[in-house]
């Protein structure tokens, strides 16, 4: 749990957020999301006529103002099907069910793609939500194969799942903080099949990441490079952050979400304590804006001139809602998540009919690579809708999972 020395800060933060709190407009937000996504469906159908062969899922808007579609192998390919599943879950409208099934089916071949660590992002956000909402046994089979494929990237000497296969000149065995998000698929696979292999891999990866990815203040490195033969840490770097010693905002959000989920799946209080401390770092950071939508890196210079990252706020909000159900600091976390959703729904949404139908504006993909800066991103929309659903469920039932 958090140290007592933080209690004054938490009280002040909770009081400040309570004073600023307004009701999160879930119904209005989903109504807007549905209108926008209908536009995005039309734009996607139109774009497939001129896109590269195999491009199936919308990712962002490119520098030319065109809708960018990606192939199933792209790490973001599962988020648009996930958006469609969330719209079906909220509305019950079978129009969304039909579209969700269609775009989910496009990804099936990825179940055997062992060249990526992003199996959870791609398959659990699409097929996982589909299984949860339809109980289709075919979805179950696809997910089990996906988990088996992901498990092949685990190195027992390192105690982690390998992330990228690229940039071999920089890292022999890279592990990125984002990879925590893919463990949920493995935890699910053990619950479903009874095979503890998946669970053990997920726990080993979470433990290795806990040991090596975090600084004393609970900020996170983006990339840890390991020696695959000895398991020794060789490098601690960034790839998408401002510098090797800075804190890339979305990476911090991935860590918060990943360890909150890992506590849910294991009951390991070390994961809960880490999630609480990650949250503390973010919520009390002096560079966190008043609207709780962070800049792309907490330590970038001249922050007032730097782009925000709405995707990080969406991931944080969703994670904080879940964390609030496990922690004594539940009111602080819930109010912070409420504030993030209020800001996103009021100041970061696209006007209806614009921006090719994406829901949120002002996300940042990779500033160091001059890639996807201040644009809509499909994963921002996904976690925004997930956070809205979680807010609604907490308000109605007081819990998220049975």
Which two three-digit tokens encode residue 51?
A: 């896109």
pLDDT the model gives residue 23: 81
Instruction: Tell me whether residue 19 is in a domain.
Output: no
Query: 19 falls in which pLDDT band (50, 70, 90)?
Result: very low
| Residue 178 designated active-site | yes
Specify which residues 174 forms β-bridges with. 225
| Residue 217 designated active-site | no
Instruction: Tell me whether residue 266 is in a domain.
Output: yes
Instruction: Tell me whether residue 218 is in a domain.
Output: yes
Instruction: Tell me whether residue 77 is in a domain.
Output: yes
Which two three-digit tokens encode residue 50?
A: 């001129």
Query: 374 falls in which pLDDT band (50, 70, 90)?
Result: very high
Which two three-digit tokens encode residue 239?
A: 């790839």
Q: What is the mean pLDDT of residues 22-34?
A: 92
Q: Structural domain of residue 32, as residue ranges? A: 26-392
Q: Can you say which residues are annotated as belonging to the binding site for substrate?
A: 118, 178, 238, 250, 254, 366
pLDDT at 154 over 90: yes
Catalytic choice (31, 74, 93, 118): 118
Q: Mean pLDDT in the chain?
A: 95
Alpha carbon 227 to its chain centroid, in Å, reads 27
Residue 255: give its domain's CATH number.
1.50.10.10
Query: 22 falls in which pLDDT band (50, 70, 90)?
Result: low
pLDDT digits (tens, 9 = 90+) for 274-285: 999 999 999 999
Instruction: Tell me whether residue 126 is in a domain.
Output: yes
Interior CA angle at 353 toward 388 and 361, to 5°?
50
Instruction: Tell me whether residue 200 is in a domain.
Output: yes
Cα distances (Å, whole numbers) of residue 112 to 119, 150, 176: 10, 9, 22
Q: Can you say which residues are annotated as belonging to the binding site?
A: 118, 178, 238, 250, 254, 366
Of 174, 179, 170, residue with least CA distance to 75: 179
Count how many domains the chain has. 1
Burial of 333 from C-beta contacts in 10 A (0-12 / 13-18 / 19+): buried
Instruction: Tell me whether residue 281 is in a domain.
Output: yes
pTM passes above 0.85: yes
Catalytic choice (74, 178, 297, 338): 178
Tally Cβ neighbours within 10 Å of residue 35.
13
Instruction: Tell me whether residue 233 is in a domain.
Output: yes
């Amino acid at each position: 749990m958090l140290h007592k020395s933080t209690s004054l800060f938490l009280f002040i933060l909770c009081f400040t957020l309570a004073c600023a709190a307004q009701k999160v407009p879930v119904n209005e937000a989903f109504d807007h999301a549905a209108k926008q996504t209908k536009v995005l469906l039309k734009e996607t159908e139109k774009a497939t006529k001129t896109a590269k062969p195999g491009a199936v899922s919308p990712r962002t808007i490119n520098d030319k103002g065109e809708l960018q579609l990606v192939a199933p192998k792209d790490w973001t390919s599962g988020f648009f099907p996930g958006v469609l599943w969330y719209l079906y879950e909220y509305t019950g409208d079978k129009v969304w069910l039909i579209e969700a099934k269609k775009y989910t089916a496009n990804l099936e071949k990825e179940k055997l793609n062992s060249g990526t660590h992003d199996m959870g992002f791609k398959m659990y956000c699409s097929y996982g939500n589909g299984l949860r909402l339809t109980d289709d046994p075919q979805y179950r089979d696809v997910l089990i194969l996906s988990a088996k494929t992901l498990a092949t990237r685990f190195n027992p000497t390192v105690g982690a799942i390998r992330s990228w296969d690229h940039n071999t000149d920089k890292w022999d065995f890279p592990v990125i903080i984002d990879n925590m998000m893919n463990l949920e698929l493995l935890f699910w696979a053990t619950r479903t099949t009874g095979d503890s292999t998946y669970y053990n891999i997920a726990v080993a990866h979470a433990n290795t990441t806990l040991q090596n990815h975090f600084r004393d203040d609970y900020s996170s490195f983006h990339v840890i490079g390991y020696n695959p033969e000895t398991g020794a840490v060789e490098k601690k770097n960034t790839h998408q952050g401002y510098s090797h010693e800075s804190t890339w905002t979305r990476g911090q959000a991935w860590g918060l979400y990943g360890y909150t989920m890992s506590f849910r799946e294991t009951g390991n209080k070390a994961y809960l304590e880490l999630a609480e401390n990650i949250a503390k770092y973010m919520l009390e950071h002096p560079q966190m804006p008043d609207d709780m939508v962070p800049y792309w890196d907490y330590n970038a210079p001249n922050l007032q001139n730097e782009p925000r990252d709405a995707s990080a706020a969406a991931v944080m909000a969703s994670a904080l809602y879940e964390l609030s159900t496990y922690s004594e600091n539940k009111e602080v976390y819930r109010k912070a998540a409420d504030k993030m959703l209020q800001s996103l729904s009021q100041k970061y949404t696209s006007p209806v009919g614009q921006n090719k139908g994406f829901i949120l504006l002002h996300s940042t993909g990779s500033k160091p690579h001059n890639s996807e800066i201040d644009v809509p991103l499909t994963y921002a929309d996904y976690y925004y809708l997930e956070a809205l659903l979680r807010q609604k469920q907490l308000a109605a039932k007081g819990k998220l999972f049975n």
